[in-house]
Structure 1
Amino acid sequence: MAFDVTIQPSGHTFEVEDDETILEAGIRQGFAFPYGCRNGACGSCKGRVLQGEVDHGPTKPPGITEAELADGMALFCQAVAVDDLEIEVREIGAARDIVVKTLPCRVAALNRLADDVMELRLQLPASERLQFLAGQYLDILLKGGDRRSYSLANAPHDDDQLVLHVRNLPGGRFSTMVFEELKPKGLLRIEGPLGSFFVDEDSPRPRLFIGGGTGFGPLKGMLDHLAAEGLDRPHHLFWGARAADGIYAPEWLQKMAAEHAEHFRFTPVLSDHPTATAADFPAISGWPHDAVLAEYPDLSGFDVYMAGPPAMIHAAREAFLAVGLPTDQLYYDSFEPAVPAE
């Protein structure tokens, strides 16, 4: 049985089957909502149910609180319709013309960026091209139905190869393969582009970027895209790592700072082993969100883009909203752990 869903404030409508989530139905019919992990953990797809009823299943997803559920909020990546719905959620028009594809690819190169970070370059067949927005991610499709999500670290105009930054996680199925088994010319299958983490280019506000670890990857893709378009306002990148060697793109950072000195700043933030500099930039000791608030105590006039581990995203989100950052000026991609296929 199908139910009708009306999106507010746009008034757009689509149908959702009783065996699919609201997010799945919207994407299938060309309506792009914010989303990230798709497993109920990150909370990116949260919206409000104005009329009707949804079901999140037998257990509450971790990305939403009981208070939010009581207030009419829902996680659309997990919620299914019980009857016709009217929902309030931000639509993302830029993604509606992007086609999600499943494609074979070859490993073009493996470049060690740090002891625990590998740049994985993928080459698509000559007859194929993956159109994407800077900041989106793709899934590596593994045997047995498992998939691993990685953000694209290159910009759409530089798409001869697809570039991923892979951190070596102890026991990680795919990261172990990348660091120990995968060779150039090896074959993989991907699905993408996915996600709603990309730049609102219609906004006139200055932008802050906060990355933790390999969360730098999608931010690099965004900044490369914006630089190609011509930076016309302040852009400040904060990159958090444990120690200076975790800031693994010194040449790129120095080039950006030299070529866009008027509109680009970079601040490394080191948590465990603070040093005077990282990649030749003065470093701050502590946590990225604290460094941001020390420099920008009033965030109401900024657009903020964050990517990295869930703990960093959660702490920064709570801190930034508490000082008045509007929710519609905060964009984030939380690198939630992979959920094995059942």
Structure 2
Amino acid sequence: MTYTITIDPSGRQFSAQPDETLLAAAIRQGVPLPYGCQDGACGSCKCKKLQGEVLHDPYQAKALSEQEASAGLILACRAHAQSDLRLESRQVGAADAFPVKRLPVRVSRLQRATPDVMILHLQLPASDALGYHAGQYVDVLLRDGSRRSYSMANAPHFQALAPGLELHIRHLPGGLFTDHVFGAMKEKEILRIEGPHGGFYLREGSNKPMILLASGTGMAPIKALIEHLRFKNIERPTTLYWGVRRPSDLYLNDWIAAQCADMPMLRYVPVVSDALPEDGWSGRSGFVHRAVLQDFPDLSGHQVYACGAPVMVQAAQRDFAAAGLPADEFYADAFTSALDKLGA
């Protein structure tokens, strides 16, 4: 039996079999539902069930609380349709979204940004362009069939000059892919990628002031958003908050300072959580999302773009809502590692 799934408010539709998850069916038919881990660990694919019935595979409680489930929220990566469905997901774009492609890419440069962050430059095939929105991500397809997701850190308009992608990769010791990146990977190596994916991109129809919120390498898609703002001459007041553990982790500090010098509407607030005395840090400290609330106790008139660790994204979404941020003005992309998927 086949069921029809309708997504509000975009009106997009796709069909799903009971033996496949809603997310798998949507990806198969080119409908860009947001997602991250695909394993019920991060909550990125959360959407609201308006009509119909679903059956969930097991998932982690941190991804979908009992209160959220009681309110009708579901996880598309674990939910199976048991009837026709009407869902609400404001991150689903129109039918003219960029097509998802699988492409070979060549490693053109490995740039060590910090001891545990590598900037990976990938050359795209000259014969096959990859269209995407600033903020979206690609999956790196590994030989064992698994995949790792990384946001593009360069805005799409750069493709006209030199087709290629910039990915920011943090080393997770024991990680199948990151151990290779920081160990045996060499320039000219060939990888395979799939994308673009994700609903994390700038909503240009709004004039609201923006908060850009990043933790760690969650700065990658935020960098692409800033490049896009500059390219399109968008002058909405924008404040960037970047949270890291120590000052040395602010690997784009000089780049951000240069953007601020040329973009009067852009303000930058770095936040360090675990500075040591020898760091000599005199700036903002603590949790990065709390720094936002200290500066903006009323977020009712703002729009937020958040990217980074799931715990940061989830805390920001909860606390920003309490500060008046409308639910449909919070756009997020949570970076979920293999450890997150295992519940570690």
What aligned pairs does 1:84-163 form with structure 2 within 5 A after superposition?
Answer: 84-90=84-90, 92-93=92-93, 96-159=96-159, 160-163=163-166
d(CA) in 2 for partners of 1:264, 1:95 = 32
Task: Call closer, same or farther: CA 1:8–1:259 in 2, change over 3 Å.
Answer: closer
Do the aligned partners of 1:30 and 1:96 also contact (CA within 8 Å) in 2? no
Do the aligned partners of 1:241 and 1:269 also contact (CA within 8 Å) in 2? yes
Q: State the Cα distance separating 1:204 from its structure 2 match.
A: 1.2
d(CA) in 2 for partners of 1:56, 1:78 = 5
Structure 2 equivalent of residue 198 of structure 1: 201
* CA deviation string 1:149-196 (max 9, x = no partner): 111100000122100001111111111111111011011111111111
Task: Call closer, same or farther: CA 1:13–1:129 in 2, change over 3 Å.
Answer: closer
Amino acid at match of 1:135: G
Q: 3-state SS of the aligned residue for 2:206?
A: coil
Do the aligned partners of 2:10 and 2:93 also contact (CA within 8 Å) in 1? no
Bigger Cα displacement from structure 2, 160-169 vs 331-340: 331-340
Do the aligned partners of 2:46 and 2:76 also contact (CA within 8 Å) in 1? yes
Q: 3-state SS of the aligned residue for 1:180?
A: coil
> Could you tell me the TM-score, scaled by structure 2's length?
0.91
What aligned pairs does 1:213-232 form with structure 2 within 5 A after superposition?
Answer: 213-232=216-235
Moved over 6 A (4+): 274-278
Corresponding residue pairs, total: 336
Out of 241, 244, 248, the residue aligned to residue 245 of structure 1 is 248
What aligned pairs does 1:1-342 form with structure 2 within 5 A after superposition?
Answer: 1-58=1-58, 62-90=62-90, 92-93=92-93, 96-159=96-159, 160-260=163-263, 262-273=264-275, 283-338=283-338, 339=341
Do the aligned partners of 2:10 and 2:92 also contact (CA within 8 Å) in 1? no
> Could you tell me the TM-score, scaled by structure 1's length?
0.92
Do the aligned partners of 2:119 and 2:169 also contact (CA within 8 Å) in 1? yes
Bigger Cα displacement from structure 2, 308-317 vs 296-305: 308-317
Do the aligned partners of 2:30 and 2:99 also contact (CA within 8 Å) in 1? no
Consecutive unaligned residues of structure 1, counting only runs of 5 or more, are none
Q: State the Cα distance separating 1:318 from its structure 2 match.
A: 1.7
C-alpha root-mean-square deviation of aligned residues, in Å? 2.1
Amino acid at match of 2:201: F
Task: Call closer, same or farther: CA 1:151–1:9 in 2, change over 3 Å.
Answer: closer
d(CA) in 2 for partners of 1:277, 1:162 = 35
Do the aligned partners of 1:18 and 1:80 also contact (CA within 8 Å) in 2? yes
Q: State the Cα distance separating 1:312 from its structure 2 match.
A: 1.4
d(CA) in 1 for partners of 2:26, 2:250 = 38
Do the aligned partners of 1:134 and 1:152 also contact (CA within 8 Å) in 2? yes
Consecutive unaligned residues of structure 2, counting only runs of 5 or more, are none
Do the aligned partners of 1:274 and 1:283 also contact (CA within 8 Å) in 2? no
d(CA) in 2 for partners of 1:249, 1:95 = 35
